[in-house]
A and B are shown apart, each in its own frame.
Chain A
Amino acid sequence: MTAELIHRLHFAFTITFHYLFPQLTMGLALLIVVLKSVALKTGSQQWDRAARFWGRIFAINFVFGVVTGIPMEFEFGTNWARFSRLSGGVIGQPLAMEGVFSFFLESAFLGLFLYGEKRISKVMHWFSAVMVFAGSWISGFFIIVTDAWMQHPVAYDRLPNGQFEVLSFWQLLLNPWALLQYAHNMTGAVVTGAFVMSAVGAFYLLEGIREEQARIFLKVGVIAGVIASIAIIFPTGDLHGKYVARNQPAAIAGMEGLFKSEAGAGMVLIGQPNEETGEIDNPIVVNDALSFLIYGTTKAEVKGLDQIPRDQWPTALPLLFYAYHIMAGLGTWFVLLMVASAFLLWRNKLYTAPWALWALLLSFPLPYIANTAGWMTAELGRQPWLIYGLMRTSEGYSNTVSASNGLFTLLGFMGLYTLLGLLFTVLIYREISNGPESTSAHESHAV
């Protein structure tokens, strides 16, 4: 195994595991604000209790997000030293801004939200929830800005020693790629939050317990779910996809498995890309669909891999193709399920429709898979570049850190994260079993 592969796996593994937590944190933060707002407006104990319950789930999730997030900032330096040396002046900025503008805010108000309910007024407690939401969404923004600069570098110059430097604060933050990716990604986080909340509601109703709470969870979860599931395809996914197509033709060709440039390109729904023959094996294709989706007309030509030099093809082509198709396929399922559930909710039949409740319960892992697959699509699509068009991945890893040392710590992280995954599952299961009526879990949090 080469050092380059080990360093890539190291970052990929730790970031993939990490992002299982923030996607729920960011999605739930919004839904908790909804719960708290209704509680504040109506004075309802039930909605306050629901907010407190999800606050406990949030707290556990938040801690796992924090502890798995710290390694990410470090790994830029430890595993990607040559990249950091040249690009630190640019991407170090949004990473530092995340700490300064978001983490201080988020940690301060989360402490107040979880520990201080009896020390502050109702409005102040609601305000804490809003600030936690703001903090977590600002944090997401700076990470997207960092990634967007690697995908689509803007507002930079190169010093004589090869280092990149940033020329404009606002151009860096308002990178069009970042804005589109942010909209798409945050919608994805809301999808996760909505599915998790709906699934717990469905679980309680199917079990015939805590029905009043369950109905609140389902109402909020399904309404948020139907909005987010539609918005993640149109407009956010649609716009982001079109922008990728214009700026990273190799990525789109890889995602779609388009080996040959075509006017009226078809969209492959399923199949296996064959790099040897340059064809899709066992394809099921919708004619002209790809041209239409990207350019709005069925006649437009879409650039295929044949127009791209072989050494600039995405390095893990089949994985890119599958990741994209898994994301898109699941996204379609989310719309179907959530539109059906929302219809039943409107007709007042959702709470008594076991098949819909079962579907909601069993679907909760799927947004995690879809979000992960979406990120794999973005990052594998960027390959072989680390900074698109400017620096290759092979030029960026720490070449003073041997493959052996990298593997040593990768295995360490795998072991540690396996343990974390088990603990997390047990803890969340326990909170859900104890339910919203329990207050014991965080009693020792009291101050």
Chain B
Amino acid sequence: MMGFIWFWLVAVMIVGYVVLDGFDLGVGVLHLFLVRNEQERRTTLASIGPVWDGNEVWLLAGGGTLYFAFPLLYASAFSGFYLPLMIVLWLLVLRGVSLELRNHTDVGVWRALLDGVFGLASGLLTIFFGAALANVLRGVPLQADGYFFLPLWTNWQPGVHPGILDWYTVIGGLVALAALTLHGALWLTIKTAGELEQRARRIVNPLWLLLAALTVVSLVATIAVRPASLNNYFNYPFTFIIPVGVIASLAAIWFFNRKLQPMKAFLSSCGYLFFMLAGACWGLYPTLLPATTGADRDITMSNAISGPHTLAVGLAWWGFGMALAVSYVVFVYSKFRGKVDIDSAGH
């Protein structure tokens, strides 16, 4: 029971991270292509300025929760995915610093460099996050002691001894890149006005088509790579509601963007991310990290869960703490609601 609760609590925090940091990552990628002048760039970056740092907290809070609820998983996955995680850390460092620094220089060359670093780091992060999820879905070569170590790539084939990157995980990375770039574009249609808003709205269409295609490809690929992903769905057929939700939210993005209802389109995109992640979690459940070396080595909810006292203590503060946290998030977003206007207010 405790395992069940914490599995879904961690999943909720991951969804929170993807939905929130997702749009600022997407804006990071998009600003490279979308803006035409310094004014527009400042508007674009100001739309995420007050919130990106708080969005990133979901990653830390989720990581911490995973750490104490499933220490075996945390230890095994983090040391096994050592190299890509270190690269992710470097990208997070570069991204945060470049975004802050561009506010502190008037020199065009430096701004161009920092903007480039910010965009590139944002794009690579989305790809790494997508690939990371795909690695979990595909499984890793767990040893008998519960550990593994993956090289960055081997022969680009999923199998018993794959690399971090193979054709399947690359697809995962591309899905994340497309989904979060679209998510970022929809955010900009809410937060910006005029020509910039128009351009953001127009770019939604090609991104949507790309995402729809990649979604289908990734679905087929997942079933091919790990057929067991379907077991839960066939055992509980009503859970096919999840893929239906994916399709419905995709359709709603298209529909509301056409109808010039940016907030609803953005929320639909949140829904898409939610259903995709929920679908992945349900495909795994109750496994946390499948082994390519034999199902008896899978890291599961029951063999990774912390002791009962730890979880009882955790549950005592978690609900209260997250309620507080959500109230701050709501508060800040409501204070900064509406279109960005970089002339009306200053520091």
Contact = CB atoms under 8 A, between A and B. Distances in A.
Contacts of B85: 74, 78
Interface string B320-335: 0110110011011001
Most chain B CB atoms below 10 A, which of A55, A88, A117:
A88
Most chain B CB atoms below 10 A, which of A71, A87, A399:
A71
A107 B328 CA distance: 9
B46 A71 contact: no
A82 B63 CA distance: 17
A9 interface: no
Contact of B83 (A67, A409, A446): A409
Contact of B345 (A97, A119, A423): A119
Contact of A412 (B65, B90, B102, B310): B90
A210 interface: no
Contacts of B49: 111, 115, 445, 447
Most chain B CB atoms below 10 A, which of A56, A96, A172:
A96
Interface stretch (A159-167, A250-258, A281-289, A321-329): A159-167
Contact of B346 (A76, A98, A104, A446): A446
Contacts of B51: 111
B60 interface: yes
A300 interface: no
Contacts of B90: 412-413, 416
B347 A115 contact: yes
A435 to B, nearest CB: 14
Interface string A156-190: 01010001011111001000000000000000000
Contacts of B343: 446
B200 interface: no
Contacts of A445: 46, 49, 103, 346-347
A272 interface: no
Nearest to A169: B313
Given A77-B79, A81-B147, A107 B53 contact: yes
Contacts of A159: 307
A101 B146 CA distance: 32
A82 B42 CA distance: 46
B104 interface: yes
B61 A165 contact: no
A398 B149 CA distance: 10
B259 interface: no
Nearest to A107: B54
Given A445-B46, A447-B345, A111 B74 contact: no
A32 to B, nearest CB: 14
Contacts of B54: 103-104, 107-108, 111
Most chain B CB atoms below 10 A, which of A73, A107, A168:
A107
Contacts of B335: 112, 116, 119-120
Nearest to B69: A92
Most chain B CB atoms below 10 A, which of A86, A116, A166, A442:
A166
B309 A165 contact: yes
Interface string B72-92: 101111111011011001101
B5 interface: no
B324 A81 contact: no
Nearest to B307: A165
Contact of B74 (A92, A166, A169): A92
B219 interface: no
A432 to B, nearest CB: 12
Contacts of A338: none
A15 B346 CA distance: 34
A37 interface: no
B312 to A, nearest CB: 9
Interface string A50-91: 001001100110011011101101101111011011111111
A157 B343 CA distance: 58
Interface stretch (B93-101, B228-236, B285-293): B93-101
A444 interface: yes
A67 B92 contact: yes
Given A111-B54, A116-B336, A446-B346, A67 B93 contact: yes
B97 A64 contact: yes
Given A70-B60, A82-B75, A412-B90, A92 B67 contact: yes
A78 B64 contact: no
Given A107-B57, A412-B86, A427-B101, A88 B74 contact: yes
Contact of B75 (A73, A77, A408, A443): A77
Contact of B104 (A88, A112, A427): A427
Nearest to B88: A74
Given A68-B93, A77-B74, A398 B82 contact: yes
A92 to B, nearest CB: 3
Contact of B103 (A92, A108, A420, A442): A442
Interface string A6-43: 00000000000000000000000000000000000000
Contact of B318 (A100, A107, A402): A100
Nearest to A56: B347
A163 B100 contact: no
Contact of A112 (B74, B83, B309, B332): B332
Contacts of A235: none
Contacts of B197: none
Contact of A92 (B50, B68, B308): B68
A196 interface: no
Nearest to A405: B82
Interface string B171-212: 000000000000000000000000000000000000000000
A161 to B, nearest CB: 9
A77 B67 contact: yes
B50 A81 contact: no
Most chain B CB atoms below 10 A, which of A77, A110, A400:
A77
A366 to B, nearest CB: 26
A359 interface: no
Given A100-B318, A111-B51, A401-B82, 13 more contacts: A56-B347, A60-B100, A70-B59, A71-B93, A82-B75, A96-B67, A101-B317, A108-B54, A117-B345, A159-B307, A168-B313, A423-B101, A446-B342
7 contacts: A76-B78, A84-B71, A92-B68, A103-B54, A107-B54, A165-B307, A420-B97
Interface of A: 52, 55-56, 59-60, 63-64, 66-68, 70-71, 73-74, 76-79, 81-82, 84-93, 95-101, 103-105, 107-112, 114-120, 157, 159, 163, 165-169, 172, 398-402, 405, 408-409, 412-413, 416, 420, 423, 427, 430-431, 439-447
In the A-B complex, the 4 residue pairs with the smallest Cβ-Cβ separation, listed nearest first, are A88-B71, A77-B78, A92-B68, A96-B64
Interface of B: 42, 45-46, 49-51, 53-54, 56-57, 59-65, 67-72, 74-80, 82-83, 85-86, 89-90, 92-94, 96-97, 100-104, 106, 146-149, 306-310, 313-314, 316-318, 321-322, 324-325, 328-329, 331-332, 335-336, 340-347
